[in-house]
């Protein structure tokens, strides 16, 4: 046969094969490889409605926050509070880190207390912005009811000198900067204001953001509740033999279906859960394993953080592992009971550790008990030994004891709680049952 004829015959054969494939579907031996598992992608759309009724923070609340800040600054005899776009600027002016990418060119929120003619303190709000970005800065979603002064610094000027010439009070007294402000900004401010002292804001200012209002707590309850509902919904779709990565895809898709932003998740099976932040392998779930899911997401800027260590309905868990689960469960409950208005944060950490110590397991709780939570997943204050912060009404923390025995087993249970008006601690997940009650009832 000539080469041309051979080519034509091969082409016809390929066409016939394609036709047969389309008419009959893939041969059985092929379908085994084209489908990754017999389980279809689970439907989590029922989670969408849980927080649909919860409103974001209204403009009026931002004005109240600025007013409280101005009064606090005045009472501390400070001339201003300065923050870069981030959680604190998000709290005081809706200027979160997702709104403006930090670069070497400073964009700063400056709030200074001013005394009006009636001798009342009010907040003067300024945005220091690169001059060529002025139009974009004015598009930031700062509540429109705020009266904002835009201070534009040209490329050939010192941004901090521009700020001082517009706000002369910066040049004397104390200037507080948010704790997350980058060093070159603190340094530049200090050089431009030799007569003042530029220092990180003290606890009186940090507490304005740390202690949540009723409307913030409504958001935080809902976001934590729906995060727990997402874990339970994922568990309902899990099976022995699946991989950690598959559970990871499920929980991320459940959090997205719940309408949450910034989803984060750890899915760890068996002894992999003994490494609190994961192992990097993609383990298969065995019939005797616990599965650990630790996840978070945000609603209107406020974050959840929930961990469950659980068994599947038909799993048979070793009695020794079950004892560890019950011990962690007691530690979590005892820590919650210890956390009241007026308690020192270190005492709450100790309550959990003492519970484990009584059974000889204290050395397996290798991390602090918990962290503040709100506009950041981890924020001050922290529940840890050595900390002398005082817990007050409105504070929110994670309560997350664990036992980690490397190469064997890891158990962590985590719910976030708030301190109510009566000074008592309540889990933010309480509306959907609160703490787990057994590895089979997470
Ligand atoms: C705060 O910013 C968000 C966008 O991040 C926006 O949707 C919301 O309306 C703003 N809030 C107010 C009170 O302007
Ligand atoms: C307050 O700060 C000013 C400078 O801004 C200073 O002159 C004054 O002594 C301070 N007052 C107190 C009570 O510290
Ligand atoms: C909370 O504790 C603080 C400091 O110990 C105290 O001043 C305040 O009155 C307490 N509030 C409640 C509601 O118990």
How do residues 355-395 score in pLDDT, each as one tens digit?
999 999 999 999 999 999 999 999 999 999 999 999 999 99
Q: Number of helices (H) and strands (E), helices first, in the chain?
A: 12, 17
Rounded distance between C-alpha atoms, residue 3 and residue 188, angstroms: 77
List, in order, residues 6 or more apart from 330 with CB less than 8 Å away. 355
Helices (H), 76-167: 87-93, 134-138, 159-166
For residue 96, give the ligand 1 atom closest to its CA. 5
| pLDDT tens by residue, 165-176 | 999 999 999 999
Confidence band, pLDDT 50/70/90 cuts, at residue 303: very high
pLDDT band, very low/low/confident/very high, at 5 (cuts 50, 70, 90): low
> What pLDDT, in 10s, does the model give residues 80-127?
999 999 999 999 999 999 999 999 999 999 999 999 888 899 999 999
Is pLDDT above 70 for 23?
no
Closest ligand relative to 195 C-alpha: 2
Ligand 3: residues whose CB is within 6 Å? 341-342, 392-393, 423
**Mean pLDDT computed over 47-68:** 98
Report whether 92 contacts 86 (CB < 8 A): no
Dist. CA 437–CA 156, nearest whole Å: 63
pLDDT, residue 29, reads 40
At residue 172, the 3 state secondary structure works out as: coil
What residues are in contact with ligand 1 under a 6 Å CB criterion? 56, 58-59, 94, 141, 143
Burial 66-105 (b: 16+ CB within 10 A, else e): beebbbbbbebebbbbbbbbbbbbbbbbbbbbebbeeeee
Cα 186 versus chain centre, distance: 26
**Cα–Cα distance, 168 to 267 (Å, whole number):** 53
Cα(398)–Cα(305) distance, integer angstroms? 7
pTM for the complete prediction? 0.90
> Which ligand lies nearest the alpha carbon of 193?
2
Specify whether the CB–CB gap between 203 and 391 falls below 8 A: no
Q: Which domains does the chain have, with CATH numbers?
A: 59-210 (3.40.350.10), 212-432 (3.90.230.10)
pLDDT band of 398, cuts 50, 70, 90: very high
Q: Average model confidence (pLDDT) for the chain?
A: 93
Q: Which atom of ligand 3 is nearest to the CA of 422?
A: 13
Question: Residue of the nearest CA to atom 1 in ligand 2?
Answer: 77
């Amino acid at each position: 046969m000539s080469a041309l004829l051979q080519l034509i015959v091969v082409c016809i054969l390929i066409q016939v094969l394609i036709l047969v494939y389309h008419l009959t579907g893939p041969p059985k031996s092929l379908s085994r490889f084209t489908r990754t598992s017999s389980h279809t992608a689970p439907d989590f759309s029922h989670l969408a409605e849980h927080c649909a009724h919860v409103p974001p923070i209204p403009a009026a609340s931002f004005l109240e926050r600025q007013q409280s800040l101005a009064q606090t600054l005045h009472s501390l005899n400070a001339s201003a509070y300065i923050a870069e776009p981030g959680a604190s600027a998000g709290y005081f002016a809706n200027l979160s880190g997702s709104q403006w990418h930090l670069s070497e060119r400073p964009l700063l929120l400056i709030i200074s207390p001013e005394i009006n003619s009636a001798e009342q303190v009010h907040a003067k709000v300024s945005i220091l912005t690169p001059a060529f970005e002025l139009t974009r800065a004015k598009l930031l979603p700062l509540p429109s009811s705020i009266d904002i002064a835009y201070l534009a610094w040209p490329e050939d000027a010192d941004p901090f000198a521009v700020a001082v010439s517009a706000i002369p009070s910066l040049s004397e007294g104390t200037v507080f900067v948010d704790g997350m402000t980058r060093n070159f900004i603190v340094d530049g401010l200090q050089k431009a204001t030799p007569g003042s002292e530029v220092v990180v804001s003290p606890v009186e200012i940090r507490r304005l953001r740390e202690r949540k209002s009723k409307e913030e707590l409504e958001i935080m309850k809902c976001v934590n509740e729906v995060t727990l509902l997402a874990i339970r919904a994922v568990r309902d779709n899990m099976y022995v033999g699946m991989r950690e990565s598959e559970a990871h895809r499920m929980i991320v898709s459940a959090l997205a279906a719940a309408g949450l932003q910034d989803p984060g998740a750890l899915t760890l099976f068996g002894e992999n859960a003994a490494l609190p932040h994961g192992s990097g392998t993609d383990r298969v779930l065995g019939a005797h394993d616990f599965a650990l899911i630790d996840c978070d997401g945000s609603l209107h800027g406020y974050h959840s953080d929930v961990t469950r260590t659980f068994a599947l309905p038909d799993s048979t868990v070793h009695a020794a592992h079950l004892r560890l689960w019950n011990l962690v469960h007691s530690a979590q409950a005892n820590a919650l009971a210890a956390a009241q208005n007026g308690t020192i944060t270190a005492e709450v950490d100790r309550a959990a550790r003492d519970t484990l110590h009584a059974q000889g397991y204290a050395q397996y709780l290798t991390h602090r008990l918990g962290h503040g939570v709100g506009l950041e997943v981890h924020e001050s204050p922290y529940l840890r030994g050595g900390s002398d912060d005082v817990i007050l009404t409105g504070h929110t923390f994670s309560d997350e004891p664990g036992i980690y025995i490397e190469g064997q087993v890891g158990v962590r249970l985590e719910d976030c709680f708030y301190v109510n008006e009566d000074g008592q601690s309540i889990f933010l997940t309480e509306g959907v049952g609160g703490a787990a009650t057994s590895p089979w009832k997470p």
